Structure 1
Amino acid sequence: MTDGEGLAAGYDVLLFDLDGTVYHGPQPIPGVAEAIRGLRARGIAVRFVTNNASRAPGDVAATLRGMEIDAETAEVSTSAQAAAKILGDRLPPAAQVLVVGAPALEAEVQAAGLTPVREVSPDVAAVVQGHWTETGWKHLAEACLAIRAGALWVASNVDATLPTERGLLPGNGSMVAALKTATNTEPVVAGKPEAPLFHTATQSAGATKPLAIGDRLDTDIAGANTAGVDSLLVLTGVSTAADVLAAVPAERPTYLAADLGALDQPADDLTPGPQKGWQVDVDGDTLVASGKGSSDAYALLRALCHEAWQSGVTDVRAQDDLAAKALTELGLPSSR
């Protein structure tokens, strides 16, 4: 990166989502380690903000270092920490909390001065639920009984899916949905799209102008908007080009790019709006795209988003071969 140039230069801390943004399961996304090293070399603070409650911050930092991504434990903020803070604020000291989740979530509950348990009893004051690959019917059954008896229910996050190197797998939100159906109750949500994770991570860096970076419209981007934070959506994880075209106002990013290489690009070039080299017109219920010399598919997507968000039209037609090629790269069907 060159000093004073690129999107990152306008912010004093970058808040990175992990799953789908920095890595897919055990595999780092290409270019991430280099991008983060470049930020640190320029004195820009980095924080890792994740909805995954299954691992302790120290373990997350160690995993990142194993991928040659510089990270310290204090730079990691998890939804397990956010959930434990909610519980600590609402419950008396040593209150029993039934944990549906990983040992890391249990440890955060204990660190908040509460008593984690795994089975329901009349003394259980709350249920906390976070992602854990071992969660099964017996865990949900215990939680169901406690919630139905009136226990406070806190979910670390409600991501329906979890991006991995094998594809999208069930996330904590899928397990939360099962309990919502069984109890007819809504949980208090601790992680994204709520704001606390963003504020806590920003404060930990002593920063005032954060940029949130993520791959999910419904958590990363919606959470940034809730927190009043600028955001960059990268299409390396869950949300697709079609998703961002149809995004509701609360889930629209400030910037849009293919991947973290965008941190080197000027901010204005990454903002959804008219793009040099592309023409997008609204023809009835169709967006008509034509190339005017550009081959950058993601520039076309930013132009399409500009028109789609104003008109509500999301169907796309390519007017020429250049546009057709770009739409194919974006995975957008064309009526041409």
Structure 2
Amino acid sequence: MSDALLAAYDAVLFDLDGTVYHGSRVIPGAPEAVRAAREHGTPVRFVTNNASKAPAEVVDHLTGLGLPADAGEVHTSAQAGVQVLKDRLAPGAEVLVVGTESLAAEVREAGLKPVRENAPGVQAVVQGHSPDNTWAALAEACLAIRAGALWVACNVDATLPSERGLLPGNGSMVAALRTATDAVPVVAGKPEPLLFETAARSARAERPLVVGDRLDTDIAGAVAAGIDSLVVLSGVATPKQLIEAAPAERGTYVAEDLTALTCSAEDLKIGPRPGWTVEVRDDVLAVTGDGDDLDLLRALCHTAWETGVTELGDAAKARLGLA
């Protein structure tokens, strides 16, 4: 395992939704991959933008899916959001909570006072995902934000992966408030680097690896934190998105799922790949050769990122199922 991807890093920072599980369904191979990291002696951390559950609840969910963990290994955007509040507000300040009771508990544990209705004493609004968020809750937040309250969004994920498909995420609700207030929130979770930096410090890691399925949060957050990343295609990211990715959203490696952690790091790296030749012809990425489809994707990403050409030729489209 000396050449395995996980052996090249001193911690693995896993995203959850779309990377480890889809709602109540574990992604095949995830328990084995996490177990392999632990057996190798590589610390693992679970870094999630989902602010709806407390770390202990995340641990219960992971354990039920065959991935034993402890609360100290879990880092949530709710924790990051409350840290922003704690850094900016005086102890005891009133914070209007749009989110779950676990988010309100985080606010309370930080020495602040969670409330659910706007009043003259409200100094901040913290907004996190909850399936029970209502128009009435958004209306209270709207009034507070318009009155000048600090607005902290735990994350701005537009969608949330589930076993049924993509559902509205916290970012969709944040977008509604942005429209209603003409204000812009302070974003605490990914793609801001705070969550990954905190997780890496807790593992005493100097060379961590981020593993995630979203380019605009997981991978962008890794880039912002200066951390290498593995993009897995088990959630939101698609081959087309990868090829067209902006510099701030480009991963180091790409694979189908977490089982790649025990594969050779060199085989997973985005770059020229044996068996495939990618050239720019008439502003189109033309491919020749044969081999593994993911190797083709790695080679296409490399050339697209080097040249700025992202239009695929017919052969590449057919091979990647994009025709």
For structure 2, the 5+ residue unaligned runs are: none
| Pairs aligned (count) | 323
CA distance in 2 between counterparts of 1:41 and 1:318 reads: 44
Q: Which position in structure 1 is the counterpart of 2:97?
A: 99
Of the three residues 301, 305, 308, the one matched with 1:305 is 301
The letter for the 2-side match of 1:229 is I
Find the residue that maps to 2:152 and give its secondary structure.
strand
Partner of 2:171: 173
In structure 2, what is the equivalent of residue 227 of structure 1? 225
Provide the secondary structure at the position in 1 that maps to 2:313: strand
Question: 1:231 is paired with a residue of what secondary structure?
Answer: strand
Whether the aligned pair in 2 keeps the contact of 1:216 and 1:237 (CA below 8 Å) is yes
Q: Is the 8 A contact 1:14 1:210 kept in 2?
A: yes
Contact conserved, 1:36 with 1:70, CA < 8 A, in 2? no
1: CA distance between counterparts of 2:84 and 2:141?
18
Classify the secondary structure of the residue corresponding to 1:316: coil
CA–CA distance in 2 between the matches of 1:244 and 1:42? 30
* Superposition map of 1:56-95 within 5 A: 56-95=54-93
Match of 2:21 among 19, 23, 31: 23
Q: State the alpha-carbon separation in 2 of the partners of residues 282 and 325 from structure 1.
A: 17
For the pair 1:316 / 2:312, whether they are aligned, the reply is yes
Query: 2:152 aligned with 1:154, yes or no?
Result: yes
Letter paired with 2:286: V
In the TM superposition, what is the alpha-carbon distance from 1:324 to its structure 2 partner?
6.3
The answer to whether 1:260 aligns with 2:253 is: no
In structure 1, the residue matched to 2:279 is 281
- Partners in 1 of 2:318 and 2:143 — Cα distance? 54
Aligned partner of 1:47 in structure 2 is: 45
Please state how far the C-alpha of 1:281 moved relative to its aligned partner.
Answer: 1.3
3-state SS in 1 of match to 2:210: strand
Distance (Å, rounded) in 2 between the aligned partners of 1:256 and 1:11: 16
8 Å Cα contact 1:37/1:70 also seen in 2:
no
| Mapped contact 2:36–2:262 kept (Cα < 8 A) | no
CA distance in 1, matches of 2:187, 2:14: 20
Aligned to 1:327: 320
What SS does the corresponding residue of 1:288 show, helix, strand or coil? Answer: strand
Q: Which residue of 2 is the match for residue 246 of structure 1?
A: 244
CA distance in 1, matches of 2:4, 2:19: 19
Task: Kindly provide the amino acid, as one letter, of the partner of residue 19 in structure 1.
Answer: D
AA aligned opposite 1:245: I
Give CA deviations for 1:98-131 in whole Å, capped at 9, x if unaligned: 0000111101101110000000000000000000
- How big is the alpha-carbon RMSD for the aligned residues of Structure 1 and Structure 2? 1.1
Distance 1:243 1:208 in 2: 29
Q: Using a 3 Å threshold, how does the CA distance of structure 1 residues 178 and 16 change in structure 2: closer, same or farther?
A: same
SS in 1 for 2:211: strand
Deviation (angstroms), 1:277: 1.0
The separation in 2 between residues aligned to 1:291 and 1:102, in whole angstroms, is 52
The secondary structure found in structure 1 opposite 2:229 is strand
TM-score normalized with structure 1 length: 0.94
The CA distance in 1 between the partners of 2:61 and 2:155, in whole Å, is 21
CA distance in 2, matches of 1:325, 1:185: 44
Contact 1:99 1:118 in 2 (8 A): yes
Is 1:123 aligned to 2:121, yes or no?
Answer: yes
Alpha-carbon distance between aligned partners in 2 of 1:242 and 1:249, rounded to the nearest angstrom: 15
Deviations 1:260-298 (A, max 9, x none): 121122222212111101111111121112224x1x111
Q: Which residue of 1 aligns with 2:210?
A: 212
- 5+ residue gaps, structure 1, are none
Contact 1:318 1:327 in 2 (8 A): no
CA-to-aligned-CA distance 1:10-38 (integer Å, 9 cap, x gap): 11110000000000010000000011111
| Counterpart contact for 1:290–1:318, Cα < 8 Å | no
Segment of structure 1 superposing worse, 255-264 or 77-86:
255-264
Output the TM-score relative to the length of structure 2: 0.98
Query: What letter matches 1:314 in structure 2?
Result: T
SS at match of 1:194: coil
